[in-house]
Every structure is written in structure tokens, then in C-alpha cells.
Amino acid sequence: MAEGVARSVDQGPGAPVAGDSVQIGIAVDIPEPWGSLLTRRRLEAGDQNTVPAHVTLLGPTEIPVSALPAVERHLVRVAAEHLPFTLHLRGTGTFRPVTQVVFVTVAAGISECELLAAAINAAPQLRRELRFPYHPHVTVAQDVAPEALDQVYEDLADFSAMFEVDHFTLFSHSGQTRWQPRRDFRLGG
């Protein structure tokens, strides 16, 4: 869902919106050098999803364009109430056989991601029925051949990265463009 890494500039209205509704998503980008490595590995596995590596806090959610200001005010409050934290990514996991997904696991920072996701989802405009319980992770292959899933699972089994998370990003998608960063929200106000 992410379209870049660790932007430090508030992008304000940011991405274009068309029509009466807009798709939004909220994520923590994976910084360099790890972000591009994980994104490249996903593409090499045959996954056509060109979204840069990230930890999703709110998956794609359609809201009325008129709700964007209230959502952004909510996200300012959520960010102010949560402190920066260390995220440690280590090793691989899978959701198989339920879904054909291989991911890099979140080894530390799980609770912080869960608390952020729950607080974000508490906004009336963002409440939605989840298909599966929230589980923070970085997808590195999805809906590709079983052999490709096995290979990326093995290739990244020893992967490790540790970094500070000091913000999350609101992305939007108008249906005519790829996911675009709309605004960063700094943790700890």
C-alpha cells in the first residue's frame, strides 16, 4: 500500500480524489535499505503487487471524500497518543493453507502495531468487519505458485531488520492511480 518511504513532509491534501468516495489505507513504511530489498523480493517471487514493503495498520477502506477531514483529525489524535517504538522484523511466516501468503514476521513491536491498528479502526468512518484477526507482518509473496512461496519463505528465513517507527502514513487511491501518500502522522504528537 505504501508508495515511498519515511517522508518527513506533511503532504496535506496530497493524492487526487475522484468522485464521491476514495479508497484509503494506513501503513508503516519499511525504511531503506530493507524496504527496497523486500519489495524487490516480492516482485521476483512473481507477485505483481508493486506496492512497496510496509506493515498495514488499516487495509483498503472506501470512505466518502467528505469524511477525509474527520479521518485526518482522528489520525492526528491517534498519533499523538502513541509513542515512537522499535520495530524488529525477523524471519518468515505464512498464512497457508488459509491464504497463499508468505510474510516477514514482526518480532518486536507487535503490541504497538496492534494498539495503533485498534485505535485507528475506532473511528466511526473506519470501522469495518475484518476477514481475519489483525496480525502485523510484511507480505513478501501472495497468490503465486507454491514453489515461489516456498522459495521466498526459505530465502528470507534469516532476514532481520530493526528500526524506529516515528510515524505512520495515510494513503489514498482514486481508482485512476496507484496508492499515493496523502499525509504522515508523527507519533507522540
Q: Residues 145-163: pLDDT tens digits?
A: 999 999 999 999 999 999 9
Q: Which of 163, 103, 166 is nearest to 135 (CA)?
A: 103
CA 106/CA 30 separation, integer angstroms: 12
Distance between CA atoms of residues 16 and 182, nearest Å: 9
Q: Over 70: is that where the pLDDT of 19 sits?
A: no
| pLDDT tens sequence across 65-89 | 999 999 999 999 999 999 999 999 9
Q: Which amino acid is at 25?
A: G
Taken in order of first residue, the domains within the chain and their CATH numbers are 21-186 (3.90.1140.10)
Q: CB–CB of 27/138 below 8 Å?
A: no
Q: Which residue has the higher pLDDT, 168 or 126?
A: 168
How far, CA to CA in Å, does 128 sit from each of 4, 47, 56, 139, 165?
26, 27, 15, 21, 25
The grid cell for 45 is 517471487
Residue 4 confidence (pLDDT):
32
- Are 140 and 102 a contacting pair, CB within 8 Å? yes
pLDDT of res. 121: 92
User: DSSP characters for 63-88?
Assistant: EEGGGHHHHHHHHHHHHHHS--EEEE
The pLDDT of residue 18 is 52
Task: Place 176 in a pLDDT band, splitting at 50, 70 and 90.
Answer: low
Measured CA distances, 61 to 41, 64, 126, 128, 133 (Å) = 26, 10, 7, 8, 16
Give pTM, 2 decimals. Answer: 0.85
The pLDDT-based confidence of 17 (bands split at 50, 70, 90) is very low
Mean pLDDT across 105-129: 91
